[in-house]
Amino acid sequence: MEYRLVPISDVDFNAYVDSVNEAYSDYFVPLHVSPESMQGLIFREDLDIDRSRVAIDSKGNILGSCMLGIRDNRGWIGVMGVVPEYRRKGIGRVILKSLIENAQQLSLKYLTLEVITQNVGAFDLYQTMGFEKLRTLVIFDRGVMDVSTRVPGEFSVVRGKADDVLQYYDQFHEVENPWQRQKNSLECLMESWSTRLLTSDGSVVGYVGGWFGPERVQVWDAGISPDIDNREEAAQALLASVLQEFPKATSGMLNVGEDDIIVQPMQALGYRQTLRQYEMRLVINEI
């Protein structure tokens, strides 16, 4: 079949959004976005619609698409999908190859992406294109349940400001967050955030930030100082204090690396894995 690739910026934006919804309508986790929410995604994930691509046929119908995010010399592949009736025709591979070429032209160091572990076909495609698995990311969720953990005497939990997360982010993260929860994205999200700080002897040694309310505690980022002992105990106490503050709320956190200090504390507090993704990387230029 005949089709060509053009920048997303060259097509009608509403038609592009409709094509994304169609491509994800039967996905493992169904996704539906509005033009407004897609614009928000583009903004906070630093997606470049001029460098991103859609495949269109001779009538202008969108067959598939993929977006390229750019931060300094790093890139990210996201929102990749092909409309169901046009799958298994090599369109996804062609689009991905085009974005890799764009990354090479931009002298990016590497590209990363995430793929749900059940999506064997996509995982195999990415491997054949040179992507290698870095780590597994976990989506956690927690129902309403009692919390018995208490904050140890040497610590206190106090309300903080959203900017506190940015202040301590680099210091408290030995392992970088996945793209959607890196500092650039946090800066775009935290206007409506709640933040709690863990202190010891007057110094901040940890934080947790996100959207905290009586029905839902959505944790978006958490960090614990690498300079303290019993970091996991401290992280568990900090999370527990937020859950105790909202005892009737469910809770969750997206894309937590299995190598993150927060994993064991979350499991101890009753969080359960609901979805797993592989984070993958393709080295573009050795710098």
pLDDT on residue 33? 95
pLDDT tens for each residue of 76-113: 999 999 999 999 999 999 999 999 999 999 999 999 99
Tokens of 9: 């910026």
Residue 130 belongs to some domain of the structure: no
CA 171-175-177 angle, to 5 degrees, is 95
Q: 247 and 184 share a domain? A: yes
pLDDT mean over 222-247: 95
Q: 97 and 167 share a domain? A: no
Q: What percent of the chain has pLDDT over 70?
A: 99
Domain boundary among 64, 87, 108: 108
Residue 127 belongs to some domain of the structure: no
Secondary structure, 3-state, the chain: CCCEEEEHHHCCHHHHHHHHHHHCCCCCCCCCCCHHHHHHHHHHCCECCCCCEEEECCCCCEEEEEEEEEECCEEEEEEEEECHHHCCCCHHHHHHHHHHHHHHHCCCCEEEEEEECCCHHHHHHHHHCCCEEEEEEEEEEECCCCCCCCCCCCCEEEECCHHHHHHHHHHHCCCCCCHHHCHHHHHHHHHHCEEEEEEECCEEEEEEEEEECCCEEEEEEEEECCCCCCHHHHHHHHHHHHHHHCCCCEEEEEEEECCCCCHHHHHHCCCEEEEEEEEEEEECCCC
Residue 29 belongs to some domain of the structure: yes
Is the Cα dihedral 262, 266, 271, 273 positive or negative? positive
Residue 256 belongs to some domain of the structure: yes
Residue 249 belongs to some domain of the structure: yes
Say if residue 286's pLDDT is above 90. no
Residue 251 belongs to some domain of the structure: yes
Q: 19 and 145 share a domain? A: no
Domain boundary among 108, 127, 160: 108
pLDDT tens for each residue of 194-233: 999 999 999 999 999 999 999 999 999 999 999 998 899 9
Q: 144 and 100 share a domain? A: no
Q: 230 and 147 share a domain? A: yes
Number of domains in the chain: 2
For the chain, the C-alpha Rg in angstroms (whole number) is: 21
Q: 150 and 101 share a domain? A: no
Residue 283 belongs to some domain of the structure: no
Q: 100 and 144 share a domain? A: no
How many CB atoms neighbour CB 107 within 10 A?
A: 10
Q: 156 and 263 share a domain? A: yes
Which range marks the domain in which residue 19 is found?
Answer: 4-108
Provide the CATH number for the domain around residue 98.
3.40.630.30
Tokens of 114: 């995430």
pLDDT on residue 1? 80
Q: 20 and 67 share a domain? A: yes
Domain boundary among 55, 84, 108: 108
pLDDT mean over 250-277: 96
Say if residue 287's pLDDT is above 80. no
Q: 145 and 257 share a domain? A: yes
Residue 226 belongs to some domain of the structure: yes
Q: 97 and 157 share a domain? A: no
Q: 87 and 151 share a domain? A: no
Considering only 37-46, 151-160, 178-187, 245-254, which range has the smallest mean pLDDT?
Answer: 151-160
pLDDT tens for each residue of 107-123: 999 999 999 999 999 99
pLDDT mean over 241-262: 96
Model confidence at 175, in pLDDT bands (50, 70, 90)?
A: confident
Mean pLDDT score of the chain:
95
